[in-house]
Structure 1
Amino acid sequence: MEYLWLLAIFILFAYTVEAVTGFGSIVIALSLGALLMPVPELLPILVPLNILMTGWLTSRLYRNIDVQLLLRRIVPLMLTGTLLGYLLLPWLSERWLKPLFGLLILWFSARELWRLNHGGAVHHPKWLTPPLMFSAGITHGLFASGGPLLVYALAGTSLDKARFRATLIAVWFLLNSSLTIAFLLDGRLQSALPAVLMLAPLLPVGVWLGEKLHHRIDEGLFRKLVYGLLMVTGSVLLGAGLLA
């Protein structure tokens, strides 16, 4: 597959960042990978890789999952939105997919940079939480990247850090498992499987590198650099789509 070596570098970087900061491996890998390949071709590679990571983490952290929040609120809304996004994907041309994803990445990175520089979370009215969860599902179906909107939807909840992290990881494991089954049924997983098997060994390497870096670098500065990189990437994706 053309550019596979460069995609491997992006994936290694993405999982190293997640091990250091605890966020966004698939968002980073997809935003960088979209500079090389069409989004629909990337998803059947990145989504199965993600369930390897989230499945392992879910098995370790399951005691901290808020099962009631997960099954009664998040999953019904996000799974419905994910199905809608998956069904919409074939109807959206790459010309529109990349700028839409670029906008999502720009919003996410700008919000996180603002939060890091000003402190505290960005809140919203409670009535907005269900629509945000449903919208997070749509972006997950389109880009396997529902995290930015879901984290925003859950802003201000009473979840402590451990329960928040474990519950989010369980969400990604459930939704990405569903997407992987969908890719198997529509035939896209079969063609992507060789790349998935070749890239899978990079996941533990990225986690190992991230663990090493976590204790040696300023995490706040590192986060700002990563969000700055995402802003540049989002701008490139948006510009490439608008100029196409």
Structure 2
Amino acid sequence: MTIILYFIIILLTNMIQGITGFAGTVLAMPFCILLLGIGIAKPVLNILTIIACTLIVVRSYKHIVWKEFFKMTGIMFVGVFIGEYVYTLFPVDILLTLYAIFIIFIALKGLFVKKEFDLNEGILIGIILSAGIIHGMFISGGPLLIIYAVKKIKDKESFRATLSPVWIVLNIYILIKQLFLGIITVPMVNLVLIGIPALMIGVIIGGQMAKKMSQQTFMRLSYVLLLISGVSLII
């Protein structure tokens, strides 16, 4: 039953990843933490995210806005280093509670706050840095990064294509570190292999749906799923 639930989680969340380019890991992480434990969920989802984003980049690389890619990646790297350090300072239970509250806040904002706020460049850079910190702790910086990305990248296809290589670069760094520390185990590799078919099916379906349905509809769906996942994690 655990494997079946894991397969379903990877399938459904990567459908959203295929549509938006960012939501797959942050949606999957709370459920996979509950199902597998955080020590297993983080490395497994990190590898699966690299694969999912690579599929998106292969199909949409011509739409990447390189200036924004380099800017987001560079600033987020600084945040990742901070996030990794913060993760070692506090008990996991406290960090998970704060993470769940963060997810719920982002979801409620996306669902109910329609007003666009004028954010200066300093605040936007701070948002990217904060996204990196969250990514360093939970490999889930997407919800914060989109606050910046939606301000700078208006085209739907470019939005999706530009976010994906950011996650590839950051997550490969995290993967190299995990390999160096000996965190990756054979059972984790087996879970990755089980998840790859679900991931590929989800990304392909999501990519097709993204062409036919509005970005607004699926962003709203992403926020609803974020809310459910955050509440589930707190419970």
Among 179, 200, 213, the residue aligned to 1:204: 200
Structure 1 residue 164 and structure 2 residue 163: aligned?
no
TM-score by length of 1: 0.82
Mapped contact 1:79–1:175 kept (Cα < 8 A): yes
Distance 1:122 1:189, change over 3 A: farther
Inter-CA distance 194–180: structure 2 relative to 1 (3 Å threshold): same
1:175 deviates by 0.7
Distance 1:123 1:35 in 2: 37
How far apart, CA to CA, are the structure 2 residues paired with 1:151 and 1:106?
Answer: 15
Which residue of structure 2 lines up, in the alignment, with residue 65 of structure 1?
A: 64
Equivalences for residues 3-82 of structure 1 within 5 A: 3-20=2-19, 22-71=21-70, 73-82=71-80
Matched with 1:173 is 168
Matched, 1:231 2:227: yes
CA gap 1:233/1:222 in 2 versus in 1, 3 angstroms: same
8 Å contact from structure 1 (residues 123, 156) kept in 2: no
- Read off the aligned partner of 1:206 and give its amino acid letter: G
Give 1:11 shift.
1.0
Structure 2 residue 189 is the aligned partner of structure 1 residue 189: no
Would the aligned equivalents of 1:124 and 1:155 in 2 still touch at CA under 8 Å? Answer: no
Q: What SS does structure 1 have at the residue aligned with 2:36?
A: coil
Task: Name the TM-score, length of structure 2 as normaliser.
Answer: 0.85
- Distance change (3 Å), C-alpha of 1:226 and 1:60: closer
Percentage of matched positions with identical amino acids: 28
Equivalence map 1:78-227=2 (5 Å): 78-114=76-112, 118=114, 121-157=116-152, 159-191=154-186, 192-210=188-206, 224-227=220-223
Q: Check conservation: 1:121, 1:155, Cα contact below 8 A.
A: no
**Unpaired runs of at least 5, structure 2:** none
Structure 1 residue 138, shift from structure 2 partner: 0.6
Structure 1, residues 98-151: CA drift from partner, whole Å, max 9, x if none?
212201211221122125xx4x75542332011111111010111111111111
Q: How many residues align?
A: 234
CA RMSD in angstroms comes to: 2.7
Change (3 A) 1:80 1:34: same
Q: For structure 1, which runs of at least 5 residues remain unmatched after alignment?
A: none
SS of 1:188 mapped into structure 2: coil
Q: 1:122 to 1:109 in 2, by over 3 A?
A: farther
